[in-house]
Amino acid sequence: MQGKESSQALLIKQLNPVISGWGNYHRHAVAKHTFKVLDNFIFGRLWSWARRRHTRQSASWIKKRYFHVVNKVQWTFCCKKSAVTLRKAQTIPIRRHIKIKGAANPYDPMWFKYFEKDLACFKSPLKPATLEGLSTGAVCRETCTYGSLGSQ
Q: Does residue 77 share a domain with residue 124?
A: no
Q: Does residue 67 share a domain with residue 139?
A: no
pLDDT tens for 23-60 read 988 888 888 899 999 999 999 999 999 999 999 999 99
Q: Does residue 140 share a domain with residue 76?
A: no
Q: Strand, helix or coil at 135?
A: helix
pLDDT tens for 103-126 read 888 778 887 777 776 655 555 555
More confident residue, 8 or 132: 8
Q: Does residue 113 share a domain with residue 86?
A: no
Q: Does residue 23 share a domain with residue 84?
A: yes
Mean pLDDT confidence for 52-76? 91
Q: Residue 109's pLDDT is what? A: 81
Q: Does residue 73 share a domain with residue 14?
A: yes
Q: Does residue 116 share a domain with residue 50?
A: no
More confident residue, 15 or 124: 15
- State the residue range of the domain holding 146: 109-151
